[in-house]
A and B are shown apart, each in its own frame.
Chain A
Amino acid sequence: METIKTIIKEHITYRDQIFMLAKSDLIKTYRGAALGWAWAVVKPMVTLFVFWFAFTIGLRAGKPIAGYPYFLWLVAGMLPWFYMQELITGGAGCIRKYSHLVTKMRFPISIIPTYFNISHLFTHLILLGITIVLFMLFGHLPDIYYLQIPLYMLMMVAFFTVWSLLSGLLSAISKDFQNLVAAFSTAIFWMSGILYDVDKIRHGWVRLILKFNPVTVISSGYRKTFIYKQWFFEDKVELCCYMTTLIVFTLFALWAYRKLRKEIPDVL
């Protein structure tokens, strides 16, 4: 409880700096490259093309789903993944990356995951815009279901801010942990319902376990919006699973923050 209060207080004190830091993080990522901002788009495009090629041309899978071309189905589910992918590994490294803020000046560590996520959210918003345009080009105009996008976005940012705090703290203590996360990044991609529909898995218990994975919930949330046209409250089990995971991770993150806040500057 005490720790939550500390974190909230730190965020209120540093509210202006959060956005400044997010901006500078964003600028830093894309400056110095000739194409600059285009890189934010190019990387996802290449990934999408590779998967589309592998599945449609290579494996000759990729039949239309719910009346939408396979490519669009892929885009809808991959869109949040690009954010989540950056945050799984990037989040684990965020406190190390900004160690100069921790060791050289007075600065609360809990702020780092927050602005790190906000900065990546901007890139996500750009990709979201492109996705909506893409759907329009295919003749699918925005409808009422698009209203739930901000909710899924919030769920995504909330979970990954907590994740960044927890994994960032642990990685700051031990580089092993950071390597561990990097090693599991690909596994998470294939074990989450990004390239397949979790609801189509035959074993009920596998289905249920996968729903405790926020990556699955969020990715399928974007598909519900863009493809299946379902509301977020239709699958209550899924929401409960997400909340459970979020709460468990939050408790771990608070524990880590309480324990490590004062030790991190000595270690980094």
Chain B
Amino acid sequence: MSDAVVVKFDNVTKLYKLYKSDKARFKGLFSKKVPYKENRAVNGLSFEVHRGESVALFGRNGAGKSTILKMVTGVAFPTEGEIFVDGKVSALLELGAGFDAESTGRENIRFKCSLMGMSESEIAEVEDDIIAFADIGDYIDQPLRSYSSGMKARLGFAISVNAQPDILIVDEALSVGDRNFQQKCKKKVGEIMSDEDVTLLFVTHSLQTAKDFCKRGIVLERGKKLFDGDIDEAIEFYNSSH
């Protein structure tokens, strides 16, 4: 672990505007008078993550965990506050999502890697690793619509972990697939984490898995940070809070 900060949240708030209907939302574009409800998914949150750290986020449904990960990934934007992220982010937000159903597995690999900002040569380098890791045999040259959900998840995981990320984001992803594949994933994440420069942000409901990977835990409730510290204490705090 080094001193360099790779993820920084500075008083971040994320509001979701809930309109009654799409029509109301459309009207809201042109007039401020259209009523809507606010959902404060993340509320004035601040924290820093240093390079090489592994942090688990705990919290019940609706605590804002996924929103935080989305903002780190750059998929969602904060309503207020500043977010700083340094390095290539690889996110396992929803495995198998974001694929193109008409393209083959191989094309999707190239496609996703390229969108993550990898060059042709870099992609060629990791392509075989990804295919080997996904282990879906001849299906790699079939269009994705013929894949089972398990196969999609495996391919998604294979891409994310083999794309040589600086920051790896895992959201409940390790709970997919059969036991064998789960073991393989855990091993792979462990391998990645052995590189001291890779940072891990982890969301799971399995406290044991969190303990295996992370040294630090953050407990959230309704978008606010309740606890931030050592993983064992965080788990204890989380358990005692409900």
Q: Which residues of A contact B (CB under 8 A)?
A: 16-17, 20, 24, 27-28, 31-32, 100-107, 170, 173-177, 259-263, 265-267
Contacts and interface: CB of A to CB of B under 8 A. Distances in A.
Contacts of B22: 173-176
Contacts of A263: 17
Contact of A174 (B25, B100, B114): B25
Contacts of B17: 263, 266
B46 interface: no
B98 interface: yes
B69 to A, nearest CB: 12
A26 to B, nearest CB: 12
A265 B66 CA distance: 14
29 contacts: A16-B114, A17-B115, A20-B111, A28-B100, A32-B102, A32-B143, A100-B100, A102-B75, A103-B98, A104-B75, A104-B93, A104-B98, A105-B73, A105-B98, A105-B116, A106-B74, A107-B115, A174-B25, A174-B26, A175-B22, A176-B23, A177-B26, A261-B77, A262-B77, A265-B70, A265-B75, A265-B77, A266-B17, A266-B76
A102 B98 CA distance: 9
B74 A176 contact: no
A92 B83 CA distance: 32
For A32, A174, A259, the residue with the greatest tally of chain B CB atoms inside 10 Å of its CB is A174
B97 A267 contact: no
Shortest 3 CB-CB distances between A and B: which pairs?
A104-B98, A106-B74, A174-B26
B74 A24 contact: no
B91 interface: yes
B238 interface: no
A104 B97 contact: yes
Contact of B102 (A16, A28, A106): A28
Majority-rule SS of A interface residues: helix
B107 A105 contact: no
A170 B25 CA distance: 10
B89 interface: yes
B13 to A, nearest CB: 13
Contact of A24 (B25, B26, B76, B100): B100
For A105, A173, A262, the residue with the greatest tally of chain B CB atoms inside 10 Å of its CB is A105
Nearest to B67: A266
Nearest to A171: B26
B133 interface: no
A194 to B, nearest CB: 30
A104 B115 CA distance: 11
A105 B77 contact: no
A37 B17 CA distance: 44
A168 to B, nearest CB: 14
Interface string B76-102: 110000000000010101100111101
Contacts of A259: 29
B16 interface: yes
Contacts of B209: none
A173 B75 contact: no
A267 B75 CA distance: 12
Nearest to B90: A105
